[in-house]
């Protein structure tokens, strides 16, 4: 006896819509989707046009109740801000999806496509897609109001360095530009021996002070002055001042260490040359090539000063030069520099060429000097040194001449320099005639020292043609691979210039490609939307 097996594939039954009579699958409302949408609008109560406040000065959007946030176009942050504007109506429905609809950047419109669901009529779930139009309205934020007032500030940082040269300040300026630490400043004022940074909040000033402590050896003191107070609400209004003092040592300075500090650094000689100042003071002993790094706390525990200022640099001509191969190291000696070569040279001042007076010295520039080269150095033998550590030293241990760097033709170097640096927008009290010479010294230091150069953004100067990396004299130059392309943007993406450029491109595409080009130009994928 055989049994008949019935097929398990059964098609579901259909019913007729109670409104239009169209066959549909059964649902709790017994009505088709088209009729259900005509009867029920689940987006009712959700505004279709909302305004958003935007500050053109700082390019931030207003987020109620009192916050201004930075958002890029079509970013997740901007989408969250737009949804919060309609948070209360959206709480009555279920949000399934949200995304931006591409609009022209200069149109002052933001369109967000929303997909929502809601339970209607006997448990039926209806899904609907609609677009909310956001109108971007210009409104100046409170911070920009204070910037425009030019007299309002809550905190000021006074950065000072008691030196005659501004090399450290030029280096610090490039670090501030590279990491964007100048963005929160109300204004920057340059005075004779430093810079003043003004801020609208104490927190921004504290962040800047922490940045300075990480980039240059310094110390600071903080103080505050009471401006006003409200005894009823127990609120106080203070103005804070941070006094930052950078170590009074610059690159190419000759210093004399205390005996205790020299011994702790590996029995170095007390007379050393500062080869660079970054987050620490980098010293080299010209007699042994021994190097040491001194941080800010060590310096303030054992302070020392520069023996000579840059204006005392004299030009010497190399008469003889020989490289010292075997360097005798004392017990407990520290690290030896691998980038320098120890040399013994006889030099003569270019101002005393009519005499036969020559000076013998050891130098860390043995890898650069040849007979006949010009070199800059300090004449310690004929210099009045007013330093407590030098006065206690044996005169035999004080060298007659300390050579600092090789001298090149400055005019040729300026003419062939095919790169440039950016500068901070700041107020200047008075321009010293010596500032330009000091700035040229800093540019030459960048060309000669790769360790300093890697922390600085260098931009190619398109007005000067590209030449070889070294000139006829062998002066160091910055290679093209180390330079950045300088990007000039006259207006932002929402400006009139961008609008005219897009219109011109659209018109050109219509002329060259025919009617089909219009749809192509409006396609978001072709315009990076």
Q: What is the 3-state secondary structure (H, E, C) of 420-444?
A: ECCCCCCEECCCCCHHHHHHHHHHH
CA distances from 139 to 63, 75, 143, 188 (A): 12, 21, 12, 25
More confident residue, 402 or 227: 402
Averaged over 81-100, what is the pLDDT? 88
Averaged over 117-124, what is the pLDDT? 77
CA distance 140 to 208: 25
Least confident segment among 137-141, 177-181, 232-236, 347-351: 232-236
pLDDT of residue 47 exceeding 60: yes
Q: What is the pLDDT of residue 311?
A: 81
pLDDT of residue 508 exceeding 60: no
Averaged over 413-423, what is the pLDDT? 87
Give per-residue pLDDT as tens, 253-286: 999 999 999 989 988 889 999 999 999 999 999 9
Averaged over 135-155, what is the pLDDT? 82
- Among all chains, which residue has been given the structure tokens 């919060």? 84
Q: Any residues with CB less than 8 A from the CB of 303 and at least 6 apart, and which?
A: none
* The Cα angle at residue 216 between residues 58 and 199, in degrees rounded to 5: 30
- In three-state secondary structure terms, 109 is strand
pLDDT of residue 491 exceeding 60: no
- Please list the residues that pair with 5 across neighbouring strands: none
Averaged over 100-115, what is the pLDDT? 90
The answer to whether 173 touches 424, Cβ cutoff 8 Å, is yes
The answer to whether 350 touches 317, Cβ cutoff 8 Å, is yes
- Among all chains, which residue has been given the structure tokens 């008949």? 4
Task: For the chain, give the number of residues.
Answer: 529
Kindly report the backbone phi and psi dihedral angles of residue 326, in degrees, each rounded to the nearest multiple of 5, phi listed first.
-95, 110
Q: What is the pLDDT of residue 466?
A: 65
Least confident segment among 5-9, 22-26, 327-331: 5-9
Whether this prediction's pTM lies above 0.95 is answered by no
CA distance 393 to 260: 13
Give per-residue pLDDT as tens, 235-252: 888 899 999 999 999 998
- Domain boundaries, given as residue ranges, for the chain: 12-41, 48-142, 153-246, 253-407, 413-466
pLDDT of residue 529 exceeding 50: no
Which tokens in the block code for residue 286? Answer: 């010209």
Give per-residue pLDDT as tens, 380-392: 888 888 888 888 8
Q: What is the pLDDT of residue 374?
A: 92
The answer to whether 302 touches 261, Cβ cutoff 8 Å, is yes
Residue 166: burial class (beta carbons within 10 Å; 0-12, 13-18, 19+):
buried
The answer to whether 236 touches 225, Cβ cutoff 8 Å, is no
């Amino acid at each position: 006896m055989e049994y008949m097996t019935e097929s398990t594939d059964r098609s579901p039954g259909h019913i007729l819509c109670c409104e239009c009579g169209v066959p549909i699958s059964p649902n709790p409302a017994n009505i088709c989707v088209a009729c259900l949408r005509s009867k029920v609008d689940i987006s009712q109560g959700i505004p279709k046009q909302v305004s958003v406040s935007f500050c053109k000065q700082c390019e931030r959007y207003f987020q109620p109740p009192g916050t201004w946030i930075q958002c890029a176009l079509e970013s997740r942050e901007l989408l969250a801000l737009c949804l919060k504007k309609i948070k209360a109506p959206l709480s009555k429905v279920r949000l399934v999806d949200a995304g931006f609809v591409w609009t022209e950047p200069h149109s002052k419109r933001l369109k967000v496509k929303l997909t929502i669901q809601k339970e209607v009529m006997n448990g039926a779930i209806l899904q609907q897609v609609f677009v909310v139009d956001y109108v971007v309205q210009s409104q100046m934020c409170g911070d920009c109001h204070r910037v425009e007032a030019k007299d309002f500030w809550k905190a000021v940082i006074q950065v000072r360095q008691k030196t005659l040269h501004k090399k450290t300040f030029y280096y610090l300026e490039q670090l501030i530009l590279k990491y964007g630490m100048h963005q929160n400043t109300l204004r920057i004022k340059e005075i004779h021996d430093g810079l003043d940074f003004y801020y609208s909040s104490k927190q921004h000033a504290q962040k800047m002070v922490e940045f300075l402590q990480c980039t240059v050896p310094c110390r600071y003191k903080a103080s505050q002055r009471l401006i006003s107070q409200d005894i009823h609400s127990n609120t106080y209004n203070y103005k804070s001042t941070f006094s930052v003092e950078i170590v009074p040592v610059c690159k190419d300075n000759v210093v004399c260490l205390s005996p205790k500090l020299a011994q702790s650094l590996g029995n170095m000689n007390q007379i050393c040359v500062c080869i660079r100042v970054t987050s620490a003071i980098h010293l080299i002993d010209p007699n042994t090539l021994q190097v040491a790094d001194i941080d800010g706390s060590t310096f303030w525990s054992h302070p020392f000063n520069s023996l000579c200022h840059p204006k005392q640099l004299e030009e010497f001509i190399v008469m003889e030069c020989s490289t010292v191969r075997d360097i005798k190291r004392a017990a407990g000696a520290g690290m030896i520099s691998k980038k320098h070569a120890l040399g013994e040279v006889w030099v003569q001042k270019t101002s005393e060429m009519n005499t036969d007076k020559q000076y013998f010295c050891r130098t860390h520039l043995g890898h650069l000097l040849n007979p006949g080269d010009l070199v800059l150095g300090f004449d310690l033998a004929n210099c009045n040194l007013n330093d407590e550590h030098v006065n206690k030293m044996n005169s035999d241990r004080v060298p007659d001449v300390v050579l600092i760097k090789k001298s090149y033709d400055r005019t040729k170097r300026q003419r062939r320099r095919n790169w440039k640096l950016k500068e901070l927008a700041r107020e200047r009290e008075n321009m010293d005639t010596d500032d330009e010479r000091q700035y040229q010294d800093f540019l030459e230091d960048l060309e000669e020292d790769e360790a300093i150069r890697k922390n600085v953004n260098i931009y190619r100067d398109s007005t000067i043609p590209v030449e070889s990396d070294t000139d006829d004299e062998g002066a160091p130059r910055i290679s093209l691979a180390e330079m950045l392309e300088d990007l000039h943007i006259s207006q932002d993406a929402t400006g009139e210039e961008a609008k005219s450029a897009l219109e011109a491109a659209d018109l050109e595409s219509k002329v060259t490609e025919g009617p089909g080009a219009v749809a192509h130009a409006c396609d978001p994928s072709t315009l990076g939307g």
